[in-house]
Amino acid sequence: VADRLDVAERLAEGRVAIERTQAYVQACQTMGYEHPDLTSHPSQIRDWFDSEDGLDLRVLDRDCALLRAAGAAALEGLRIQQDQVAGLVAAWMGAGSDAAVAFLQRHCDAANMVATEVRAAAQRCESLRDNLWYLLDSKVGAAIAIDDRSQAQRSAWLAAAAVVTAGAGERSTAEQVVRGQVMPYVDNDIRNDWLAAMRSSTAAFGTAYDMVNDRMAAAPAAYFEMPTDLGPGFQLPQSSPGLPPQPLAAATAPAAVLAGPGPRAGSQRPRCGSDARRAAALGPRASALGPGRRPGRCGPASGCRRTRRFGWCNRRSGRAQRPGRPHRRCTGWSAGFGDRRARRFVGARRSDRSRPVRRG
C-alpha cells in the first residue's frame, strides 16, 4: 500500500489494471469497435489514467508547513506591536499621543489582516493537498475495482486479446472470445463506469485548483500607512529662507545695434560726426549696408537738429558746409535716395565745384 501523499507509488499500484484495460480496448478496436474517448489513439486509456502523473503532494505539504510558520511569525509580530502601543499610551498623553496611537493602531489592524490571510492561505493549501490525494486515491481505486470485475475471465481474455492484436495463432477462437465476451465488457463497464470515473476525476481536480485560486484572489489587500500629518496643529518644517532670486542678466547686444541716450538738458550738443552716434542712428541698417559700405556720420537719432528737421545733414565733423550741399554719407539722405543714387548725385555736385563761379 502506498504511503499517504505518495502520488507516484499510488499510480503504480493501478497501472497494472490500466494495462489490462488497454489490451482489451485495443483488441476490440482490431475487431471494429470504435469510441472517440477510448480508441482515438493507441494509448488513450493510459492518457486518461496518467493525467496526474508528476504531481508531488509532498512539496505542497512542505509549503503548507512554511505558510503555517509564516502565520505564526506574523501573529507574534502583531502581539509585540500591540504591546508597544500599550506602552506608548501609558508613557505619552495629549493630542500628539492620540494621533500617534491612532496611527499605530491602524498599523496593527493591517498586520492583523496580513496574519489572518497567511493563516487562511495555509488552511486552503492544506485543504487542497487533502482533496487532491483523496481524488487521486479514488481514481486509482475505481480503475482497480472495475478491472477486478473480470478477474475470473482475466487469463482467457488477455490471451485472446494478444492473439487478435498480433494476428497470429488460433485467431478464429480468439476472435470469438473477444467478440462474445471482451467487447460487451468494454462497451458496458469500460465505456460507462470506467470512463465516467476518469472524467469525474479530471473535473474534480480542476475544481479543487480553481476553488483555492479564487479564494486567494478574493483576499483583500492590506496597506500600511506612511506617517504624514501626525495630529492637529502639526506643520511641516519650513525651508530656511534663502537669498532673494537674482534677476537674470540682460543679453548684451553689440554696440552697433544699441541706441544711445538722447541729449540731456543743459548738456553740449553731440557732434554730428561721432562714430557711436552714427552706429546708434542706423541700428539694424548698419549690418544691412553690407561690407565695404560705411554709414553716414549723421543719423536721425544722433541728436542733430538738422537731421531731425530735414532728414539729412550738411555738417561734417561739426564744421559748417555750404548751404544746400548734403553730406555724401549722410544717413537720412542715403535712406531717402538709396546708396547708388546718393553716389551719383554727390559726384554731380563735385563736378559743379570745379566749374568757375561767376560773380557780379
Tens of each residue's pLDDT in the chain, 360 residues? 789 999 999 999 999 999 999 999 999 999 999 999 999 998 999 999 999 999 999 999 999 999 999 999 999 999 999 999 999 999 988 888 888 899 899 999 999 999 999 999 999 999 999 999 999 999 999 999 999 999 999 999 999 999 999 877 678 899 999 999 999 999 999 999 999 999 999 999 999 999 999 999 998 888 888 876 554 555 555 655 555 555 544 444 444 434 444 444 444 444 444 455 555 555 554 444 444 444 444 555 555 555 555 555 555 444 444 444 444 444 444 444 444 554 554 555 555 554 554 554
In the chain, at which residue ranges do the beta strands (DSSP E only) sit?
A: 315-316, 319-320
Please say whether the beta carbons of 81 and 54 come within 8 A.
no
Could you tell me which residues are beta bridge partners of residue 315?
A: 320
**Confidence at residue 266, expressed as pLDDT on a 0 to 100 scale:** 46
Please say whether the beta carbons of 339 and 292 come within 8 A.
no
SS3 category, 320? strand
Neighbours of 92 (CB within 10 A): 12
Residue keyed to cell 465505456: 191
Distances (CA, A) of 108 to 56, 72, 79, 84, 310: 37, 15, 9, 10, 93
**Confidence at residue 78, expressed as pLDDT on a 0 to 100 scale:** 94
- The three cell numbers of residue 104 are 499605530
- Among candidate residues 41, 48, 56, the one with its CA nearest the CA of residue 17: 48
User: Residue 188 carries which DSSP code?
Assistant: I
**Confidence at residue 97, expressed as pLDDT on a 0 to 100 scale:** 87
**Confidence at residue 96, expressed as pLDDT on a 0 to 100 scale:** 85
Question: To the nearest 10°, the Cα dihedral for 107, 109, 112, 118?
Answer: -80
Residue keyed to cell 563735385: 350
Distances (CA, A) of 149 to 33, 154, 348: 21, 9, 138
87, HSE (Cβ side, Cα atoms, 13 Å): 6
SS3 category, 315? strand
SS3 category, 319? strand
Contacts of 203 (CB under 8 A, 6+ apart): none
233, HSE (Cβ side, Cα atoms, 13 Å): 5
* Sign of the alpha-carbon torsion through 249, 253, 259, 264: positive
Distance of alpha carbon 13 from alpha carbon 2, whole angstroms: 8
Q: What is the pTM of this model?
A: 0.60
- The three cell numbers of residue 320 are 559748417
- The three cell numbers of residue 187 are 462497451
**Confidence at residue 341, expressed as pLDDT on a 0 to 100 scale:** 52
Residue keyed to cell 545695434: 257
**Confidence at residue 133, expressed as pLDDT on a 0 to 100 scale:** 97
